[in-house]
Amino acid sequence: MIRRTYGLLILAYAVVTVGEAWGWGGTAHRFINQNSVQHLPSTMSQLAAQQAFLTSHASDADTRKYSDPTEEPKHYIDLESFEDFQHLPSDFSVVVAQYGWPALQSYGILPWTIVATVDSLTAQFRRADWNKACQSAADLGHYVGDAYQPLHCTVNYNGQFTGNDGIHSRYESSMLGQYISSLSIRPDSIRYVKDVYALALGITLHSNGYVDSILQADNAARTASGWNGGGAAPQSYYATMWNLTNRLTQKLLQDATRDIGSLWYTAWVNAGVTAVAMTEETSDAASLFSLEQNYPNPFNPSTTIEFSVPGGMERSPGWSSGSSWVELGVYDVLGREVTTLVNEPRDPGNYAVPFTAAGLTSGVYYYRIRISGNGETHSEAKRMTVVR
């Protein structure tokens, strides 16, 4: 039996739709898909032109739960139900062999669903099956949106183990439905995703880290409003809940739209729809310097570090290529260099460098970049964590 069943029955009795109860809620899913389009480069104008379709079909995946018994577990993952959940295999057949399909129907399969949907979208782009591609793009937006809902990434999905019963729909539907008009998504830089599974699993791990914040906000909102959990929560509850969670919710939705755009873009490039997509995307972002947070983080054993080399830095004499000299290294907490990842000239653009922590113990490390041209230098460092 699928784990969500009892909750669905209760909510059906309360005349709440499945889509509103166990997704971000129809309003939020439409908001996510609609805004994901704004991150796309000009080379993807054909998909961007389908914004109305992507928005109106944002919750089709929820509707399929009524007719497809395999659909429900695609929308969540109870991470704590898996052994060593931070290092789940990317090969879904290995996961099925280890846990069995009946257990996975209960635990959820969200990260592998994202991978499968990207694969389908890539194939549809490649054969120019535009109708199916638009539907898969809408579904992909839905699944990534679900991965960015923290309560879709924990066994305590409804607060049933901590006395926060009903928090799932209170947070994602009732509260967000009231306040979503106050949120906005800013245009963001998307990227080509080399390892879709690593991104998908990393999103769910990241979301899981926000669960306690939502539960604590629920407790505080109950106390502030004097609501004891009986009947419908008063408006004062939602006002306090929103005040405590609006910043993290804004971040979750911003990041969700960015990653949806990145995955649409990745499928587009992998399908070979345009041979210049990567070049044009790199050119658009080439004027800015940035060092991104490694992803996934924490990690074991591999992660990816992304950075941007800015344009406008003059090439130094004697460099055979590249407009800037780039140094990227990893250091321990005492400042000792662990390894050098990059030490060479690079042209303006976006780069992704893999790093494998072979031989390193668990703990905090730092990675630092230094980009130099004639008379100009950019430098930045960020922290990352190795877990064993």
Average the pLDDT over 228-253 and give the result.
96
Summarised one tens digit per residue, pLDDT across range 319-376 is: 445 578 899 999 988 888 999 999 998 888 888 899 999 889 988 899 999 888 766 7
DSSP 9: H
Q: Which residues of 76-113 are buried (b: 16+ CB within 10 A; e: fewer)?
A: bbbbebbeebeebeeebeebeeebeeeebbbbbbbbbb
Phi, psi (degrees; rounded to nearest 5) at 136: -65, -35
pLDDT over 70 percentage in the chain? 86
* pLDDT value, residue 374: 61
Residue 75 reports pLDDT greater than 60: yes
Phi, psi (degrees; rounded to nearest 5) at 386: -95, 130
- Tokens representing 46? 């054909």
Angstrom distance (rounded) from CA 343 to CA 346: 9
* pLDDT value, residue 322: 53
Q: Check if the beta carbon of residue 323 is closer than 8 Å to that of residue 372.
A: no
Residue 202 reports pLDDT greater than 90: yes
Q: Which residues of 39-57 are buried (b: 16+ CB within 10 A; e: fewer)?
A: bbbebbeebbebbebbbeb
Lowest mean pLDDT among 75-84, 99-108, 287-296: 287-296
Residue 72 reports pLDDT greater than 80: yes
Mean pLDDT rounded to a whole number for the chain? 86
Average the pLDDT over 292-318 and give the result.
77
Query: Residue 215 class from Cβ within 10 Å (0-12 exposed, 13-18 middle, 19+ buried)?
Result: buried
The closest alpha carbon to 264, from 287, 288, 279, 281, belongs to: 281
Higher pLDDT, 278 or 188: 188
Q: Check if the beta carbon of residue 161 is closer than 8 Å to that of residue 217.
A: no
Angstrom distance (rounded) from CA 57 to CA 55: 6
Residue 216 reports pLDDT greater than 60: yes
Confidence bin at 6 (pLDDT 50/70/90): very low
Average the pLDDT over 192-214 and give the result.
96
* pLDDT value, residue 104: 96
* pLDDT value, residue 292: 87
pLDDT over 90 percentage in the chain? 67
Angstrom distance (rounded) from CA 87 to CA 286: 34
* pLDDT value, residue 26: 86
The closest alpha carbon to 22, from 152, 179, 177, belongs to: 152
Those residues whose C-beta lies under 8 Å from the C-beta of residue 376, and which sit 6 or more positions away, are 313
Q: Check if the beta carbon of residue 222 is closer than 8 Å to that of residue 229.
A: yes
Angstrom distance (rounded) from CA 216 to CA 37: 33
Higher pLDDT, 23 or 174: 174
Average the pLDDT over 101-121 and give the result.
97
Higher pLDDT, 26 or 51: 51
Query: Could you give the domains of the chain?
Result: 5-270 (1.10.575.10), 286-386 (2.60.40.2550)
Summarised one tens digit per residue, pLDDT across range 130-157 is: 999 999 999 999 999 999 999 999 999 9
Amino acid making up residue 56: S
Higher pLDDT, 163 or 292: 163
* pLDDT value, residue 19: 36
* pLDDT value, residue 379: 84
Summarised one tens digit per residue, pLDDT across range 38-66 is: 999 988 988 999 999 999 999 999 999 99
Confidence bin at 25 (pLDDT 50/70/90): confident
DSSP letters spanning 262-309: HHHHHHHHHTTS-TTHHHHHHHHHTT--EEPPPBSSSBSSEEEEEEEE
* pLDDT value, residue 380: 86
Residue 273 reports pLDDT greater than 80: no
The closest alpha carbon to 324, from 351, 304, 305, belongs to: 351
Angstrom distance (rounded) from CA 24 to CA 29: 6
